[in-house]
Structure 1
């Protein structure tokens, strides 16, 4: 039994009653939507656990959640999260009292590619030779790989981003984009067109497999960089299928995409991907893993699943927006009115401050003063924008940062431009990116203290 896989929830209803399955996902991926839709199609109750609706509290020595669920499928995209440890903490809270598929402790050890390879190799699973060091000196001398070529890659990453093939004597950095790197033996199969195999494991079996071919003048096979795919499910050797299942089991994963390569009749596990996408696999095989993941979650708490129905649902990748997607904000009873000036709260994660803002229906974008942006910890810079301000003839380039603005009881997230507004009366200007949907009453003004 994998870690965190035991049915320890407080389920007291009979097996025929619907199971409330939570999918923990702070993003809008096809995979998340497909799993939620599959839960509903199997006759159970899907709950999308998002930032907009998820909360938890500890009271009277009890841990509680709203919305409450009986089992959780973890679909947090840790490689792309701004604060991955914060997100993992949410999954940890659920795992304290609910079964969680791909529990957080398992995800942590699987995300680190060198760490995962270390665990696999000690379990007897063939992986390419690899080398890691943490300074410019040590990574470029000492126990380097003996192969002629190696792959220089980030220890945590996705979609093949910034990976490169190097020669044995090339100088490399111990970091890529502020993340540590390692070297992995480049396995040359001698194929005219580079390819690898992705096997998708759910529970104790491979639900589908595909070959991924690198695009022209490229060695990476990732679909995200243009790799072409073809069905390999029926042709996947039993040895490779068993190796994929063993790799997922050693790492404690309930579902994963396992990347494989064969050289001299020996199969190697290149990587094990915790939140592998479905798009390429479905395009190649016509099989969606979503219903299998939904069924695994339901059965984890002894819910009923029609396996024939699962197989039928797997022939369609239903990534339509599920009915259970929570709204960003509660629907107001009527149109909200905002004044020419309004007291608002602005935040960017570090702290929240109250300021008086000016409404400007002629401005396309909200803007915020440098000092206020610094006070609330706004950043990083998302982009820059050219803005024409007041009587100035030339457009000025301003940075864009993401901020949260609260008007009344409603929060909105916008990309605001940052400027020096110290010579202006109001440190925040509300543009149409926020004002759309409000009635602006120019006679209404906030009393200034």
Structure 2
């Protein structure tokens, strides 16, 4: 473990009241599970703050959060989220009254790759040359990069998605997959197999580094596309280590994966990732960043940890499902009975409407009418499924969308098929996927007026 400054992980032996560490995560990643499990293993109380269980209110000039926590670790994957700014607003709300690791303002500064490069450049940290413009004419007429090769990439994205290697004089678009794009100098490491280096920094300490090698016939090194990894912790040059620490410090990141490249004995910061993955890093180094992140959160929340315990836990990447993972649909406290027909509330996120739904224990999946799907703004389409339709021969393909369905006082999230039910009596059919845990009384029917 290389020290960049006085370590935030140094502390007295574990003592005092447990710190409630909230891990703010609207996804089911290995990293979220590992941090939650590390908090528990360090003797403190983890709280997974998910969409299913997190609430906030402002009442009588008082800001409250449920569940209550002492400190928050921001693990929102904003580059993949459907509503990134809305999600980051939640982290901003917590920051009003709580310590937050990687707060929203810092993540926004980092997630925009060109913006992050600009910040690093202004601080004197070397990055590859780059060019940004916003129209087809200006991005092609104003490009003065002298490198023979360049990388055309979106300003926001992860895992090397949609990046393209281009010749210096190729015509390019100011967009990649609908997102603004820029051109970045391609730094050739002049090796038989392209590679870069990822260093992981937590609390001003470099906890390890790995080399990432591109797959055959590929220049990108991302683990998500098949890149191989190897430990580089002991061999990381001091210049590269200092650049990693400086980059995280300039961007005010509490924890980060810093990607580096070397050309002619000079190191450059390629990218900085606020939500870098753990899996490839652990495979290469045998070091899990999760205990260090958990320890930093505990100390920010006023608790204590022992560095020896953190180092011991770091030898395992525990991404098992934690007990505190919020349930998508909590079980009812007591069995409920529903009728053959029942008035229910259906929501797609944009709107909610009340309709009468039919119960069908013979149907595996809930289905909704096209008009209901349109009215509630259901979407996007997650997949399709082929379903036999009554007495008609063959199977029909139907789109699948995620909806929320309220039966009585209980909300459930379900993946429903969408079909034309205009010729049927009821616009919603409740299948076994939502009826499990209920008793269906076919003699009971909703009063229809």
- Tell me whether the two structures share a fold, i.e. TM-score over 0.5: yes
* Distance in structure 2 (CA, Å) of the matches to 1:162 and 1:251: 25
Contact 1:253 1:274 in 2 (8 A): yes
In the other structure, the counterpart of 2:325 is 325
Counterparts of 1:335 and 1:173 in 2: how far apart (Å)?
58
| Aligned positions of 1:166-245 closer than 5 A | 166-245=166-245
Other structure's SS at 1:397 match: strand
Structure 1 contact 345–355 (Cα < 8 Å) conserved: yes
Structure 2: stretches of 5+ with no match in the other structure:
1-7, 9-13
Helix, strand or coil at the partner of 2:141: coil
Q: Deviations over 1:359-401 (max 9, x none)?
A: 1222222211111111111112222222321232243222222
User: SS of the counterpart of 2:21?
Assistant: strand
C-alpha RMSD of the superposition: 1.6
Q: Compute the displacement of 1:433 (Å).
A: 2.2
Larger deviation, residues 383-392 vs 199-208: 383-392
1:22 counterpart residue number: 22
1:261-410 to structure 2, matched below 5 A, reads 261-410=261-410
State how far apart, in whole Å, the 2-side matches of 1:370 and 1:18 are. Answer: 50
Instruction: Write the distance in 2 (CA, Å) between the matches of 1:108 and 1:228.
Output: 29
Return the alpha-carbon distance in structure 2 between the equivalents of residues 267 and 205 of structure 1: 19
Distance, in Å, in 1 between the alignment partners of 2:401 and 2:31 is: 29
Q: After TM superposition, give the deviation of residue 15 of structure 1 in Å.
A: 6.6
Query: What is the distance in 1 between the residues matched to 2:115 and 2:33?
Result: 30
Matched residue, 1:107? 107
1:252 is matched with 252
The correspondence of residues 132-147 of structure 1 with structure 2, limited to 5 A, is: 132-147=132-147
In structure 1, the residue matched to 2:4 is: none
Residues 218-227 or 426-435, more deviating: 426-435
The reply on whether 1:155 has 2:159 as its aligned counterpart is: no
Question: Would you say the 8 A contact 1:344–1:355 is kept in 2?
Answer: yes
Give the distance between the partners of 2:334 and 2:59, measured in 1 at CA: 35
Name 1:9's counterpart in structure 2. Answer: none
Partner of 1:421: 421
Structure 1 residue 20 displacement after superposition = 1.1
What is the alpha-carbon distance in structure 1 between the residues aligned to residue 376 and residue 29 of structure 2?
Answer: 30
> Residues of 1 paired with 2:53 and 2:75: CA distance?
16
Deviation track 1:236-279 (CA, whole Å, cap 9, x = no partner) reads: 11111110011011111000000000001110011001100100
How far apart in 1 are the matches of 2:398 and 2:245? Answer: 51
Quote the offset at 1:198 in angstroms. 0.4
Task: Give 3-state SS (helix, strand or coil) of 1:162's partner.
Answer: coil
Other-structure match for 1:88: 88
C-alpha distance in 1, partners of 2:379/2:38? 37
CA distance in 1, matches of 2:437, 2:191: 58
Q: 1:101 touches 1:297 (CA, 8 Å); kept in 2?
A: yes
How far has the Cα of 1:140 moved from its partner? 2.0
The residue aligned with 1:442 is 442
Please give the alpha-carbon distance, in whole angstroms, between the structure 2 residues aligned to 1:177 and 1:429: 37
Question: Does the CA-based 8 Å contact 1:344-1:405 persist in structure 2?
Answer: yes
TM-superposed deviation, 1:330: 3.8
Cα contact 2:332–2:410 (8 A) shared by 1 = no
Q: Is the 8 A contact 2:328 2:413 kept in 1?
A: no
Mapped contact 1:150–1:166 kept (Cα < 8 A): yes
TM-score after normalising by structure 2: 0.94
> In the alignment, which residue of structure 1 is the partner of 2:5?
none
Distance 1:100-1:26 versus aligned 2 partners, 3 A rule: same
What whole-Å deviation, never above 9, does each CA across 1:44-86 have from its counterpart, x for those lacking one?
A: 1111111121111111111111111111110111111111111
Secondary structure at the aligned position of 1:150 is classed as: strand
Q: Where does 1:24-63 land on structure 2 (aligned, <5 Å)?
A: 24-63=24-63
Do 1:15 and 1:302's aligned partners in 2 also have CA atoms closer than 8 Å?
A: no
Q: TM-score, normalised by structure 1?
A: 0.94
Matches of 1:233 and 1:420, distance apart in 2: 59
Segments of 5+ residues of structure 1 without an aligned counterpart are 1-5, 7-13
Worse-superposed segment, 124-133 or 423-432: 423-432
- The alignment partner of 1:371 has SS state of helix
